[in-house]
Amino acid sequence: MATLTKAELADRVLENLGVKPSGQAASAEDSVLTEEAIDAVHAQLRKSGHAPFELATIPEWAQTPLRDIVSAELAGSFGIAGYRLQVVIAAMSRAERQLAKQTSTGPQQTPIRPYWF
């Protein structure tokens, strides 16, 4: 697997949600909505230190977790509910843990901020 661009990730998110079949083009509205969600999720992950990469070159280790997190963020926008929504949210939880683990143990370590209770 090679790096992905934001547009390629957007296609994978839409396929993951079942909004577009593999190999077919997404509607312009769906693509714009998805890319905006990718930007927002990426900004949140960068802020917490879990996305030390640019969206022009998404590394292999981050592709699936980022797809799952963005899918969970967009599920309501595409009317996904019930069991399918539970599957997407469970994937998001796994993805967040995977990103946190990868960035804390991987070659691109970032400082961890303590949280005092």
pLDDT tens for 1-27 read 599 999 999 999 999 898 988 888 899
- Domain spans in the chain, listed from the N-terminal domain onward: 6-105
- Virtual torsion, Cα 52, 54, 55, 58, nearest 10 deg: -60
Per-residue model confidence (pLDDT) at position 82: 76
Residue 50 CB partners (closer than 8 Å, separation 6+): 96, 99, 100, 103
Report CA-CA distances (Å) from 40 to 102, 105, 111: 20, 24, 22
40-44, 60-64, 79-83: which range is least confident on average?
A: 79-83
Give the pLDDT confidence score for residue 23 in this predicted structure.
Answer: 82
Average confidence (pLDDT) over 94-101: 79
**Rounded to an integer, what distance in angstroms lies between the CA atom of residue 105 and that of residue 22?**
34
Taking only the tens place, the pLDDT of each residue in 57-71 is 999 988 988 998 899
